[in-house]
Structure 1
Amino acid sequence: MLIKQLQYLVALGRERHFGRAAAACNVSQPTLSAGIRHLEDEMGVPIVERAQRFRGFTPDGQTILDWAQRIVADYEALHQELSLARQGLAGQLRIGVIPSALPVTSLITGPFARQHPGVNILLRSLTSKEIQRGLDTFELEAGVTYLDNEPLENVRVRPLYNESYFLIQSRRFAKTDAQTVTWEEAAALPLCLLSRDMQNRRIIDSVFRSIGKEPRAQIEANSPISLIAHTRSSAIATILPLSFLSLINGLPDLSMRRLVEPQPAPQIGLVYSARDPVLAVVKTLIASIRRLDMQKSVDLAAGLG
């Protein structure tokens, strides 16, 4: 069995398409198919359901894929350790980030990139459930997500900062210079909110329920940028976390008021697989984060410092 054959299988499991898997491995499709057939011969069982196009894995194939993902992840981790000892950290750092934390992720990745130029950093906007899957299948090295609301399983955590919420509204319709607004007042407004598959939306809904209110979400989207665009061009308001203030503070046409009564503060943190040894790239990332005061940095970026 060659590690390359396992890498082909892992790529096929990720891409669910022979052509894309071959491209990801920088080989031709016949080469990838031949490698998987050799693996089937060696294991003595069919791995892929045979058809003109990829249809899925056999039950034995899924078991082999699960093991292949672990083996390939450990192989790549070994290369990182050896690289760190010889010439400094190199390789790839794949981080899944919930949309509400994307604006401040650079506070983490910026210093890390300067310290370790040999590492390629890939950021992906994902839901918390997608981050869980990515860690489970070794397609992510780390994630940035909520820690205390719908916490992930089989992970270790590093707290970063606490979220707070602001009502964003066109100044034409806000008609107030107040710095705060209650959740009850916000419930009476037409709103555009993140879609319900986003944990941020589920947190917002739970806050409204805690005061016996139901938000009027006339528009839903899976992109916070879309929410901001709607707010700027209409009477619809939105609710965004503290992190997004760093992107919209310079927009004079928008009113930004802190939501109070209550003031929830869910915790955002770094999560990574609870397996040993910890990947060199993750250990190094955590060491970099320890030198940061993320709460202070997020507050300053939002203009609250």
Structure 2
Amino acid sequence: MIDKLEMFLAVAKEGHFGRAAASLGIAQPTLSTGIKQLEDQLGVQLIFRGSRFGGLTPEGQRALIWARQIVGDARQLRDEMRYSRDGLSGQLRIAAIPTALTWASRLATRFGEKHPNVRFTILSRTSIEILSMLENLDIDAGISYLDNEPTGKVSTEPLYNERYMVVCNAASPFARRDSVGWEELADQRLCLLTPDMQNRRIINRHFQEAGISPEARIESNSTVVLVANVLSGGWVTVLPFDMAAFLTAGKPLHAVPLAGAQRDHAVGLVAPYREPHTPVLRALLAEARRLSEV
């Protein structure tokens, strides 16, 4: 039944039989047959369908919750058995908010040095996408904000607190300053992350608390694009300390601390709430704890 539940999860996620079949690497008739067999086994219709996918039935919505839990448990069982045979090994899929990608790399490097048989896939995603991917079993863990917006029922391990910097070029009046006030950004040529990014929503709140509402003339979901604009013209951007330090290293740019009332925002590792965790996830959470202490 596990393979049929995997098919059901794929259809629920994609909302399309063809895309679901492609994601599983199987033919669409094989997928349709598997879903029909699952419905026969359960004795209910799970999906409204005519010539195309029509959504989940009420029974399908309830079955989706159980399917995620059962498939997750089955994957965890496989991981446990592989650990008893081979030690820590396999593939870890991590999605990180763009401003935490340096920490994702740092965590993967430290973990990989201790457990060379574990491979990593690291993706850049928004905080909302990370929670959705965890729920859909598309990733094993994420790196995201822990205290700014609801995270749901997850296991967490704090990594660091964000501190914000103005990134500018040498010609900027801010370049030789020890700090810059948020209110001083009111009339600057700003390039910032897109509004769907939680980091941008945090920055917008700081602007609001400073009594300003500056316009970002350039928006991107890539921190590399933001810094490239600062490098090529009279733009300024706002980035967390670690990402600012990484992207300005070796370039004629300056990262200046933002002063004034601002709250630290905790960023950390998030993983599906399961007891016990798989051996690999237990080790990853422990490594995140050690990294935060360093």
After TM superposition, the score normalised by the length of structure 1 is: 0.88
SS at match of 2:160: strand
* Percent of matched pairs sharing the same residue: 41
Shift of 1:122: 2.4
Partner residue of 1:139? Answer: 138
1:81 aligned onto 2:80: yes
Amino acid at match of 1:159: P
Shift of 1:267: 1.2
SS at match of 2:47: coil
Distance 1:242 1:269 in 2: 15
Partner residue of 1:17? Answer: 16
Asked if the contact 2:7–2:20 (Cα under 8 Å) also holds between the matched residues in 1, the reply is yes
Distance 1:189 1:79 in 2: 54
Shift of 1:71: 0.5
Asked if the contact 1:193–1:227 (Cα under 8 Å) also holds between the matched residues in 2, the reply is yes
Partner residue of 2:243? Answer: 244
Shift of 1:191: 0.8
Amino acid at match of 1:45: V
Map 1:31-180 onto structure 2 (within 5 A). Answer: 31-174=30-173, 176-180=175-179
Asked if the contact 1:128–1:199 (Cα under 8 Å) also holds between the matched residues in 2, the reply is yes
Shift of 1:32: 1.7
Shift of 1:82: 1.1
Partner residue of 2:183? Answer: 184
Distance 1:252 1:71 in 2: 50
Q: Deviations over 1:239-290 (max 9, x none)?
A: 1111213432334332221111235321111122223222322101012223
Range with bigger deviation, 201-210 or 225-234: 225-234
1:226 aligned onto 2:235: no
Distance 1:82 1:136 in 2: 23
Shift of 1:164: 0.8
Shift of 1:129: 1.8
Shift of 1:167: 0.7
Partner residue of 1:284? Answer: 283
Asked if the contact 1:167–1:186 (Cα under 8 Å) also holds between the matched residues in 2, the reply is no
Distance 1:10 1:105 in 2: 28
Shift of 1:174: 3.7
Shift of 1:113: 2.5
Relative to structure 1, the CA distance from residue 133 to residue 176 in structure 2 (aligned partners, 3 Å threshold; closer, same or farther) is closer
Asked if the contact 2:164–2:240 (Cα under 8 Å) also holds between the matched residues in 1, the reply is yes
1:201 aligned onto 2:197: no
Distance 2:50 2:169 in 1: 55
Distance 1:17 1:146 in 2: 31
Partner residue of 1:303? Answer: none
Asked if the contact 1:70–1:138 (Cα under 8 Å) also holds between the matched residues in 2, the reply is no
Distance 2:214 2:88 in 1: 48
Asked if the contact 1:174–1:255 (Cα under 8 Å) also holds between the matched residues in 2, the reply is no
Partner residue of 1:6? Answer: 5
Shift of 1:175: 6.6
Distance 2:6 2:206 in 1: 45
Q: Deviations over 1:8-55 (max 9, x none)?
A: 112222333323322332322221221111111122222222233334
Amino acid at match of 1:253: P
CA RMSD of aligned residues (A): 2.1
Shift of 1:201: 0.9
Range with bigger deviation, 227-236 or 50-59: 50-59
Relative to structure 1, the CA distance from residue 195 to residue 175 in structure 2 (aligned partners, 3 Å threshold; closer, same or farther) is closer
Query: How many residues end up aligned between the 2 structures?
Result: 294
Shift of 1:204: 1.0
Amino acid at match of 2:239: L
Distance 1:51 1:33 in 2: 12
Asked if the contact 2:193–2:200 (Cα under 8 Å) also holds between the matched residues in 1, the reply is yes
Partner residue of 1:299? Answer: none
Range with bigger deviation, 2-11 or 22-31: 22-31
Relative to structure 1, the CA distance from residue 100 to residue 218 in structure 2 (aligned partners, 3 Å threshold; closer, same or farther) is same
Asked if the contact 2:154–2:273 (Cα under 8 Å) also holds between the matched residues in 1, the reply is yes
SS at match of 2:190: strand
Relative to structure 1, the CA distance from residue 176 to residue 229 in structure 2 (aligned partners, 3 Å threshold; closer, same or farther) is closer
